[in-house]
Structure 1
Amino acid sequence: MSKYFAGIDAGTTGASVIIFDGTGKMISSGYREYRTKHPHPGWVDQDMHELWAGICDAAKQATSSFPGDVKDIVSIGVSSQRGSFIPIDQSWTPLSDAIVWSDGRSNKQTAWMKEEFGEEGYYGISGLNISSLWVYPKLMWLKENWPEIYRNTWKIVNGQEWILHQLGSDELFADPSALNYNGMFDIQTLDYSSELFSRAGLDLDLMPPLLHELRPVGEVSAAAAEATGFAKGTVLSPGGGDQQCAAVGSGVNRQGLAELSLGTAAVMVAQLDEAPDMAQNLQSGVSFGAHAIPGRWDMEGTAHAAGEVLRWWRDTYGQPEVRAAQELDLNPYDLITLEAAKAPVGSHGLIFFPFFNSQANPYFHDNARGGMLGITQIHTRAHAARAVLEGVAYELRMSVEAMENAMGEPFETIRLSGGGAKSLFWSQVQADIYGRPVERLIVSECAALGAAILGGVGAGALPSVDTAIENMVHTRGFIYPNEANHAVYNEYYEIFKKAFLAWAEADVYNDLAAVNEKMANVPAAN
């Protein structure tokens, strides 16, 4: 009997459910979008029942198109958002909408963290720079602003635990890699930091116990089987955080390999074989956390706007490509990259800054904002389109450099996943800017594949993560940097970085944020 493995990737704006065979081939799949809610400026909430309905719809698509008997699907693993959380009561009912990782309501609490710990103090404990994105300041916000909900909360859970409970698990646990953006860990032990909880006046007993192994945590219930199409009794096993699952699904299981997921945001993940030396890395700007493979660490770099930048270009300036794509039944992004390819390397000095809502690793400037530098009358739509693609890669190169410095060696290769990796042109641009070989993966939905692998190992249906990666993860081969292009990009990248740092040090971004806040209450002129 052939065995099949399901992976659920419950993202911020939609859920993918994919069923794989033992070679990593996609057999069937489903996808359903759902929404986030924005009740106040900077707030991002999510109705978990809408998210669950999206998962059920996507699962029905995958199971109904599965060519075999769904009983041959031996396991389900889950990849979930990190940094999103739900306060629940003892019946697992959400007491509020989930507060999503990108929510920015906790600026006051983030300022307290800076005063209480200092940047280096907090980083030395948690492996993360201070940020309003983490659960830690948002949990303080919850206690201060919604005290009744805080008092009535039984546990604070991540999406993964809640989804597995909906599928049929009765076990209370949390996976360390799914909590990497919670900001409440001791990076050396990969356990909750009692110091962080006590100094913030938070209750540690609100947190689920951590599960540091891959094993079954339940089976699909009759109700979940009816809702999803999976067979009752299918084994449930933890997967991990979305980017950690993507690292597994791209084969990052040893130091020297990195995975770069190009979605709405871009996240780069690399394995560390041992705990990081935080004393040596206090100024690195790298985020450290738990790998989805038990007993291993990882490090990350993030750009908060990657595919989102290209979508902005499409919606704002790309209407000719959108119309042509509709007429030719093509993807508009393919036409946009064809337009970008008309411009020369470096876009004749047009430099795009993709900081739509902050700069993350390695400088963590919450108020950094985007723009263009160097525009002249010679620049065309082609130059601007190429500059957008190059600008995203310039920001990501800052993370590449920071992570290589922390690791003490260059990456052997960077494996590209997500929607942005479908573009051969953009992949070559990245190789040229990073100066490193890149590889595109045959299965670009790495988070779902990683969740399926981890679920299969946890169920005992796959022998080990390393063996499963060898059998199930495949690339399209190397894309090597063009050294002449790399030399050109080195020049423009240094200007990109120098300009960003100069504006940051001169408080330009903070001044702009202050003026914007003041003007938000000024009536618009007619």
Structure 2
Amino acid sequence: TPLGKAIIWSDCRAEKEAFEISRLVSPADMQRFVGFGFPVGATNPLARLLWIVRNRKEEVKQAVAVLQPKDFIALRLTGQIATDLYSSFSVANILEKRYNSELFERLGIPLKLLPPLFRPEEEVGKVTKDSAKLIDVPAGTPVTIGTIDTWCGILGSGALSPGIAVDIAGTSEQVAVVTARPKQLSPGVVWPLWPGLYFSGGPTQMGASVLSWLQRILSPFKAISFPDLESVAKKAPPGASGLVFLPYLRGERMPIWDSSARGVFFGLTDRHTRAHIVRAAYEGIAYSIRHILETACENVEQPPTCLHVSGGGAHSTFWNQIKADVVGVPVVELENHESAIVGAAMLAACPPSEPHNLAKLSQQMVRLSRRYTPNSDLAHIYDRQFEVYKALYLNTKKLMHKLASCQSRKEVRKE
């Protein structure tokens, strides 16, 4: 029986706990506890777990374990409590496949809340007779534990070979470059992906959710569709006539990892129109992708020569072309936009004893669709404005933090 609701990925309620973890656990100790370094932020599983322990004391007393949503589904299917290593990043030691009791003793988190650890391709159990009746699946069907959507999406994007970058374009953007030999294990940039493989990159805090925000504020009384929003943006020229947008509406994760960052439209004049604002938003997300890739490529031997794009945002040919023009490499749209589902299917088809088969499965299961070539005539516009984009955060960070300290969830609410 669930004792509480799931905490969505973008929720930043654990900001105070993240600060406490940073104070109590040094980067060197964190590396020792979980196997690699990472910036402790409000969206980390460890910070959220600490928030639950501190703010849901009665539920914690009753709890058998704290589970990810997918692991709760696995429990309902099989009757087994479990999780996978990569969904437990910042909580479990991915390299050693274990929890470090010293970490949880230091933070005051009961070890009883931590479920048994499995590799993503391992079977957690079989569908029970009762569950089989509910979902019309034969009893005894094996259930693979799987992993977090980002990891699955990277695997399902056909990017296991050098020179291919990934953009999973959803509510947020997940951007990565896979490598077998990272130059350095930079905290918050390089992550274990699979035995012998790492990815350099990470997630933004917002992606297509920026467009949903624009829909609400530009047309509060009559819904405006995404195609209509694109039509508006197309009326403005590339570069939005010098208008630059920082998409930090809920803070930002990769590459700045700052939950107090704030959104900015920079360069507004009385000549700018609604079209310029909308186009700047599309371009702002593209700049964030380029910013992540620029940071990610500092850790890989071979820079990407193309960008595989999937997710709901990949349906937009307009946005795919903007990404190609801004990033400066061809964007290749996947035939199946649901790359995370493809990656999950690959895990289910990959025997734990044969992890090397993953590359073969990728070749068999990932299909490419349309290719978008960068417009070299626009490079000087986007190169110049990308430098402004990066400088904006660095030059307004202190002011952003000052504003963030004045804002509370009660003060910032929907009108």
TM-score norm. by structure 1 comes to 0.71
- CA distance in structure 2 between the aligned counterparts of 1:422 and 1:499, rounded to whole angstroms: 30
The structure-2 alpha-carbon separation of the partners of 1:388 and 1:123, relative to structure 1 and needing over 3 Å to count, comes to farther
Alpha-carbon distance in 2 for matches of 1:263, 1:157: 23
Matched, 1:520 2:408: no
Which has more strand, going by share of residues?
A: 1
For residues 438 and 190 of structure 1, the distance between their equivalents in structure 2, rounded to whole angstroms, comes to 36
* Per-residue Cα deviation, 1:89-136 (whole angstroms, up to 9, x for no partner): xxxx32322333333232332222222235676468543211011121
1:266 aligns with 2:165: no
Structure 1 counterpart of 2:127, one-letter code? V
Deviation per CA, 1:253-296, whole angstroms, max 9, x where unpaired?
A: 23433321111111113333257743xx25xx52x4342x4553
Name structure 1 gaps, 5 residues minimum.
1-92, 324-331
Q: What is aligned with 2:254?
A: 361
Match of 2:400 among 481, 484, 509: 509
Shift in alpha-carbon separation, 1:302–1:463, aligned structure 2, 3 A:
closer
1:108: which partner in 2? 16
Corresponding position of 1:117: 25
Query: Residue 112 and residue 463 in structure 1: after superposition, are their counterparts in 2 closer, same or farther (change >3 A)?
Result: closer
Please, which of 186, 191, 208 is the counterpart of residue 289 of structure 1? 191
- Identify if the C-alpha distance between structure 1 residues 273 and 463 changes in structure 2 by more than 3 Å, giving closer, same or farther: closer
Deviation at 1:316, TM superposition (A): 2.1
Which amino acid counterpart does residue 512 of structure 1 have in structure 2?
Answer: L
Pair 519,117 (structure 1): closer, same or farther in 2 beyond 3 Å? same
- Deviation string 1:295-345 (CA, Å, 9 cap, x unpaired) is 53333322111101111112322579956xxxxxxxx32232233223211
Q: Does residue 335 of the first structure (1) align with residue 228 of the second (2)?
A: yes
Residue 360 of structure 1 and its aligned partner are, at CA, apart by 1.3
Of residues 424-433 and 183-192 in structure 1, the stretch that sits farther from structure 2 once superposed is: 183-192
Matched, 1:99 2:7: yes
Q: Equivalent residue for 1:444?
A: 337
Output the CA distance in 2 between the equivalents of 1:188 and 1:262. 29
Correspondent of 2:45 among 115, 118, 135: 135
Give SS of 2:145's match.
strand
String of CA shifts for 1:145-167, please: whole Å, max 9, x gaps. 33333333322222222211212
**Match of 2:349?**
456
Q: Tell me what 1:371 maps to.
A: 264
CA drift at 1:347: 0.8
Partner of 1:84: none
- Aligned sequence identity (%): 28
What SS is found at the alignment partner of 2:199? strand
Change (3 A) 1:212 1:354: same
* 1:307 alignment counterpart: 208
In structure 2, the partner of 1:49 is: none
Shift of 1:393: 1.2
Contact 1:439 1:477 in 2 (8 A): yes
Give the Cα separation in 2 of the matches to 1:318 and 1:411: 39
SS across alignment from 2:144? strand
Q: CA RMSD in A?
A: 3.0
Aligned residues: 411
Aligned position for 2:86: 177
Amino acid at match of 1:370: G
1:514: how far off?
Answer: 2.4
Q: What's the counterpart of residue 254 of structure 1?
A: 161
The offset of 1:459, in angstroms, is: 9.4
Distance 1:138 1:518 in 2: 17
Which amino acid in 2 is paired with 1:464?
Answer: N
Cα-to-partner distance string for 1:391-432 (whole Å, 9 max, x where unaligned): 111122211111111224311322111111111111111111
Is the CA contact 1:321–1:336 (under 8 Å) kept in the aligned structure 2? no
Contact 2:169 2:309 in 1 (8 A): yes
In the alignment, which residue of structure 2 is the partner of 1:414? Answer: 307
What's the CA shift for 1:212?
2.8
- In the alignment, residue 329 of structure 2 is paired with which amino acid? R
Q: Are 1:384 and 2:277 matched, yes or no?
A: yes
Give distance in 2, aligned partners of 1:150 and 1:518. 25
* Kept after mapping to 2: 8 A contact 1:123/1:130: no
Moved more, 437-446 or 215-224: 215-224
Report how far residue 230 of structure 1 moved.
Answer: 2.6
- Listed as ranges, the matches of 1:26-105 within 5 Å are 93-105=1-13
Amino acid at match of 2:339: C
What is the alpha-carbon distance in structure 1 between the residues aligned to residue 87 and residue 160 of structure 2? Answer: 17
